[in-house]
């Protein structure tokens, strides 16, 4: 019975913004095929999204869009903001799916993204102060790797990276450590796929980790492959604040899955792919930005207290 109540709570936790999708290809001043999987960060009064934009060749670059309320009146860069570096072999097929964190120590934003080429997808890092100029730090770990984000500070002297290598065709989330953002090691499995569940075939980090008093709030995508194709849904986990390699809680059920037409139909139907989270302090609301069906950008909102109550009611333990 307790489980059923929790499942009901999970189902009603996030409300889709009625103006969804908030960004589509029509908003771009140049011809593009799809705009999706946005990283999100709040800079003073402004919400900044760094959006994966797929061009008419099928290659992606990243584009900045800014808004005061995080919902409407987006100002979109009129040319690609961050393009693949054609001198970097690993970026020959474009750059995809960014995540952003503010690194207090560096006083800069760290952008992790996927560099794509015939060598396979790898996770790369760029640093920026203003989202106009970027310092590229290159690929962090060997392919095949995706869905990565740094945590915003060091743990016992080391930076931590959550990422999703593919090993033996399996896709689990890992955490790795580095003294200098360049050399990575001490790799540990973090969140694994679960047989038979909605997240049985793949899991990958969604948004940047959200710091709360109870721990790092993690949104991740979980995939089940059905006879009709893959379904991408969203789960929640909580990592220990001081030792983020420890999983404190993990939702049994998903909290958001494809339901609306813009989530069910697109270049990749039945995909809800969260990649940016913002907490609006004035209302204590959490805005979850996601790519819908690999075509548009959408947002769902929840009270942060309700999300924390829910995650604290989820099963304990490490996976
Ligand atoms: C993943 C990534 C995402 C994409 C998702 C659904 O593997 O490549 O960019 O949104 O698949 O197609």
Evaluate whether residue 294 is within a structural domain: yes
Mutation to probe ligand 1, out of 122, 204, 271 (largest number of atoms < 8 A from CB): 271
Question: For 52-61, what is each residue's pLDDT tens digit?
Answer: 999 999 999 9
Domain that holds residue 95: 2-312
Measured from the Cα of 97, ligand 1's closest atom is: 9
Confidence of residue 1 (pLDDT cuts 50, 70, 90): low
> Residue 306's pLDDT is what?
97
Answer yes or no: is pLDDT of 34 > 60. Answer: yes
Pocket of ligand 1 contains residue 291 by CB under 6 Å: yes
Which residue's CA is the closest to the ligand 1 atom numbered 4? 294
> Residue 2's pLDDT is what?
77
Pocket of ligand 1 contains residue 254 by CB under 6 Å: no
Answer yes or no: is pLDDT of 281 > 80. Answer: yes
Distance 49 CA to ligand 1 centre (A): 18
Measured from the Cα of 294, ligand 1's closest atom is: 10
Q: Which residues pair with 65 in a beta bridge?
A: 49, 76
Confidence of residue 261 (pLDDT cuts 50, 70, 90): very high
Give the mean pLDDT of 81-107.
97
Contact indicator for 291, 271 with CB cutoff of 8 Å: yes
Question: For 287-312, what is each residue's pLDDT tens digit?
Answer: 999 999 999 999 999 999 999 999 99
Q: How far apart are the first and last CA of the chain?
A: 24
Q: Residue 240 belongs to a domain with what CATH number? A: 2.115.10.20
Evaluate whether residue 121 is within a structural domain: yes
Question: For 113-157, what is each residue's pLDDT tens digit?
Answer: 999 999 999 999 999 999 999 999 999 999 999 999 999 999 999
Evaluate whether residue 66 is within a structural domain: yes
Pocket of ligand 1 contains residue 294 by CB under 6 Å: yes
Measured from the Cα of 147, ligand 1's closest atom is: 2
Pocket of ligand 1 contains residue 269 by CB under 6 Å: no
Measured from the Cα of 36, ligand 1's closest atom is: 10
Evaluate whether residue 212 is within a structural domain: yes
DSSP secondary structure, 271-319, as one string: BEEEEEEEEETTTTEEEEEEEETTTEEEEEEEEHHHHHHHHHTSPBS--
Distance 4 CA to ligand 1 centre (A): 31
SS3 of residue 245 by DSSP:
coil
Q: Which of 271, 315, 309 is nearest to 293 (CA)?
A: 271
Pocket of ligand 1 contains residue 273 by CB under 6 Å: yes
Distance 113 CA to ligand 1 centre (A): 13
Measured from the Cα of 267, ligand 1's closest atom is: 12
Q: How many domains does the chain have?
A: 1
Measured from the Cα of 202, ligand 1's closest atom is: 7
Distance 317 CA to ligand 1 centre (A): 28
> Residue 133's pLDDT is what?
98
Alpha-carbon span 163 to 205, nearest angstrom: 7
Evaluate whether residue 177 is within a structural domain: yes
């Amino acid at each position: 019975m307790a489980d059923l109540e929790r499942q009901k709570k999970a189902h009603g936790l996030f409300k889709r913004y009625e103006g969804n999708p908030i960004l589509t290809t029509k908003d771009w001043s140049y011809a593009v095929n799809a705009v999706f999987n946005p990283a999100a960060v709040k800079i003073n009064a402004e919400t900044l999204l760094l959006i994966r934009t797929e061009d008419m060749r099928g290659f992606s670059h990243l584009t900045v869009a800014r808004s005061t309320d995080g919902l409407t009146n987006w100002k979109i860069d009129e040319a690609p903001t961050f393009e693949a570096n054609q001198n970097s072999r690993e970026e020959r097929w474009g750059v995809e799916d960014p995540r952003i964190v503010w690194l207090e120590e560096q006083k800069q934003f760290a952008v992790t993204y996927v560099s794509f080429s015939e060598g396979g997808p790898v996770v790369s890092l760029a640093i920026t102060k203003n989202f106009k100029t970027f310092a590229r730090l290159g690929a962090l770990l060997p392919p095949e790797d995706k869905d990565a984000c740094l945590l915003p500070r060091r743990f016992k002297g080391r930076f931590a990276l959550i990422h999703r290598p593919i090993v033996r065709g399996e896709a689990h989330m890992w955490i790795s450590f580095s003294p200098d953002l360049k050399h990575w090691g001490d790799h540990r499995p973090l969140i694994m796929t679960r047989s038979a569940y909605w997240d049985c075939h793949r899991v990958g980090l969604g948004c940047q980790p959200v710091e709360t008093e109870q721990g790092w709030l993690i949104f991740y995508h979980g995939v089940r492959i059905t006879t009709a194709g893959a379904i991408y849904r969203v789960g929640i986990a909580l990592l220990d604040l001081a030792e983020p390699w420890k999983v404190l809680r993990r939702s049994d059920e998903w909290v958001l899955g494809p339901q609306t037409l813009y989530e069910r139909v697109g270049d990749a139907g039945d995909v809800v792919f969260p990649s940016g989270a913002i907490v609006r302090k004035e209302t204590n609301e959490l805005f979850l930005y996601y790519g819908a069906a690999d075509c548009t950008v959408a947002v769902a909102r929840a009270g942060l207290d309700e999300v924390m109550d829910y995650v604290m009611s989820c099963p304990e333990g490490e996976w």
